[in-house]
Structure 1
């Protein structure tokens, strides 16, 4: 008899811990499938726009975090910590390429619309493309042309996803959350914050 595990992960495209959390989640799913191949896993990606006040053209990335963290020393320390966590999870974050803090409203709408059009693998591919494009190359996810380029590369047509591009002035009405990433497993909230793959695996076992 097939068992089912429905996983929901809340995230924002500009949160490095969400990329790290996604990598750890993928690892945990692979571990679960290795020990319990009868389990059918479904994933839902729940967008959370953390910074709806960011203008359409975005904000300078370095200055944004410099003000938030209070100085160059604190910024360097935070980036080193995040980079180390990313490398441990198998992710890459290239802070030197991050020049813009984008408004993510359209990026979230794009993925939400794509989830209802393609199959799960295609939607997963778009999520991966957008996250790695931002954190590895510094792609500006607030630009329509950038979002469409990612969508087309993942097999979607511009006509399919054009309705998602409504502009930064319209905030994304996504999942309310106190923090991201957060996870629910078969409807059970296991809290927010990137979790190590073994911790996520334990939570998956409990949910089953």
Structure 2
């Protein structure tokens, strides 16, 4: 498939980042708009977990104090979430978890090569944490969430918090969420769907120009 018929979006994220939840929702909206305008162009997302707090203990950290120092105003986040069609409940969150288990689970599901299943699990993990205050560092909670979206049982073995997680211990990007389109155009932050749609459109046009230059 030539570049003009495909857009690849690399997404860097962590599950404890509310802006990543918001960013992935904007991306889903942008993809829906893009499919309407460019029905012949395939869109492929490549998910790259980035563990923001690898030093967090297995039991996690107190959420409220850490939130204030790292993530900004709860009101700002909740307003941005509503604009993306999300309702967050930050008051339900008690602990900032170590995400090694959750990201390792995503790594094992990625190996299945079923993008829809991966994205369903990713969305369920975000929702469990930011909308229901569930502990996504807990092995039993992760098994239940994975079972709810249909992850095969052989992918649900417990992962050691300090095990071989595919997530990077430190970001290789300026921050998360971070998007790279067709390996050319980079965007950092939870941009709205219109901006992401425009970037995807630019990616198609750039690929067409590159294809034509090679003929």
- Per the normalisation by structure 1, the TM-score is 0.89
In structure 2, C-alpha distance between the alignment counterparts of 1:100 and 1:140, rounded to whole Å? 7
After superposition, the CA RMSD in angstroms is: 1.9
How far apart are 1:171 and its partner, in Å? 7.1
In structure 2, C-alpha distance between the alignment counterparts of 1:203 and 1:57, rounded to whole Å? 39
In structure 1, C-alpha distance between the alignment counterparts of 2:160 and 2:140, rounded to whole Å? 13
| Contact 1:48/1:177, CA 8 A, preserved across alignment | no
Q: Describe the shift of the 1:153–1:81 C-alpha distance in structure 2 as closer, same or farther (beyond 3 A).
A: same
How far apart are 1:177 and its partner, in Å? 2.7
Q: Which moved more, 1:51-60 or 1:181-190?
A: 181-190
Q: Describe the shift of the 1:33–1:125 C-alpha distance in structure 2 as closer, same or farther (beyond 3 A).
A: same
In structure 1, C-alpha distance between the alignment counterparts of 2:127 and 2:20, rounded to whole Å? 11
| Contact 2:7/2:181, CA 8 A, preserved across alignment | yes
| Contact 2:120/2:149, CA 8 A, preserved across alignment | yes
Q: Does 1:139 align with 2:141?
A: no
| Contact 1:20/1:89, CA 8 A, preserved across alignment | yes
2:208 corresponds in structure 1 to: none
Q: Does 1:83 align with 2:78?
A: yes
Gaps of 5+ in 2: 205-215
2:193 corresponds in structure 1 to: 197
Gaps of 5+ in 1: 70-74
In structure 2, C-alpha distance between the alignment counterparts of 1:157 and 1:119, rounded to whole Å? 12
| Contact 1:183/1:192, CA 8 A, preserved across alignment | yes
Q: Does 1:39 align with 2:41?
A: yes
In structure 1, C-alpha distance between the alignment counterparts of 2:132 and 2:113, rounded to whole Å? 26
Q: Describe the shift of the 1:171–1:104 C-alpha distance in structure 2 as closer, same or farther (beyond 3 A).
A: farther
- Per the normalisation by structure 2, the TM-score is 0.86
| Contact 1:49/1:172, CA 8 A, preserved across alignment | no
How far apart are 1:57 and its partner, in Å? 0.3
